[in-house]
Amino acid sequence: MRTFVSLVLTCLIVAVAPFTVFGKEASKDEDIYEQRMELYKKAEAVSLIPWYYFAAIDQYERNIRLVRRDLPKAKGALGIYVKPEIWAGPLNKNPNDTNPLTISQFGGLGMDGNGDGVADPTNDEDVIFSIARFLQSYGTDHEHLKIALWEYYQRSKTVDLILGKVKIYKKYGTLQLDNHAFPVPLRANYTYKDTWGDARGWGGRRMHEGTDIFADYGVPVRATCYGIIELKGWNKYGGWRIGIRDINNTYHYFAHLNGFAAGIEEGQVVEPGMVIGSVGSSGYGPPGTAGKFPPHLHYGMYKDNGYTEWSFDPYPHLKMWERMEKIKQRKQRDHK
């Protein structure tokens, strides 16, 4: 532990807005990304664990805190939250303890990362170095870090979500992965309206968990986000379908496909606009069933909160992505 602390101390020696406001917001976003990357790189320097593991943990936790009412909102650049009993130690009678010595005596996770003599669970440096030390205690290679994540979260789904983000951040080498694309090309002949929550009867009465985008057979279906293909195959309701998990813990569901794009596989990293399949009418029966309804893309969105996952209305997001893509195309034409 003394070696780790010594290393730590050494390491420390959108379109509706006016353009001026948009520029300020963009600058603010860049600043926060820079702050976070600096923290991840510091943790990497002292632990020899690649920065993208810290980025993935932080991004997972940030989005959990955004949708959970039982967790305090983040105050600093990081989103990582450590429960008081974990930070101070399970047997520590003072769950708000910030003394590094007593925390260590009670087996707590918290440590003084910035050298001010206090182990503050709301201080970004204290938090990131505490997480780094915990991970490092299991090892620095991928398999041992996977074990460390399981020991910390005790939920295999959470481990999978974090490791998916690791893969995405490692491939692109940046935190700025917020762009999106409309799921079908804007040049295609398509139509859609808000159908989330409508009744559906095939296979038993149920709620429609998505928006239907009607288009011709074979119209390309595109990934809407940076993410990782979590699921690919057949479902009796959705037919040929693909599920993509983005960096915000959101699951994007594409159903009733006519088929998949060549080379698309589970575990593959995708990006906005990448063709993953085509519009069809598959589903409502055993594998290969098609033609029981007009060709369309069923597009759904689901959010994971660390315990469970629920559907939410994708229509507002689709409208926003469609509008943003139109603006982008118009700007490209104007610059020609």
- Taking each helix axis from N to C end, the angle separating 51-67 and 19-47, rounded to the nearest 10 degrees, works out to 130
pLDDT of residue 2: 39
Q: Is the pLDDT of residue 7 over 60?
A: no
Q: Would you place residue 23 in the very low, low, confident or very high pLDDT band (cuts 50, 70, 90)?
A: low
Beta strands 211-215 and 220-222, pairing class: unpaired
- Specify the CATH class of 190-334 in words: mainly beta
Q: Is the pLDDT of residue 206 over 70?
A: no
Mean pLDDT comparison of 20-29, 46-55, 72-81, 283-292, highest-scoring range: 46-55
pLDDT of residue 26: 57
104: which 2 tokens?
Answer: 């260590």
User: For the residues 53-73, what does the mean pLDDT come to?
Assistant: 95
Q: Is the pLDDT of residue 20 over 50?
A: no
111: which 2 tokens?
Answer: 């440590």
pLDDT above 70 covers a percentage of the chain that reads 89
For residue range 122-175, what is the model confidence (pLDDT) as tens digits?
Answer: 999 999 999 999 999 999 999 999 999 999 999 999 999 999 999 999 999 999
Q: Would you place residue 27 in the very low, low, confident or very high pLDDT band (cuts 50, 70, 90)?
A: low
Q: What is the mean pLDDT of the chain?
A: 90
Q: Is the pLDDT of residue 222 over 90?
A: yes
Q: Would you place residue 331 in the very low, low, confident or very high pLDDT band (cuts 50, 70, 90)?
A: confident
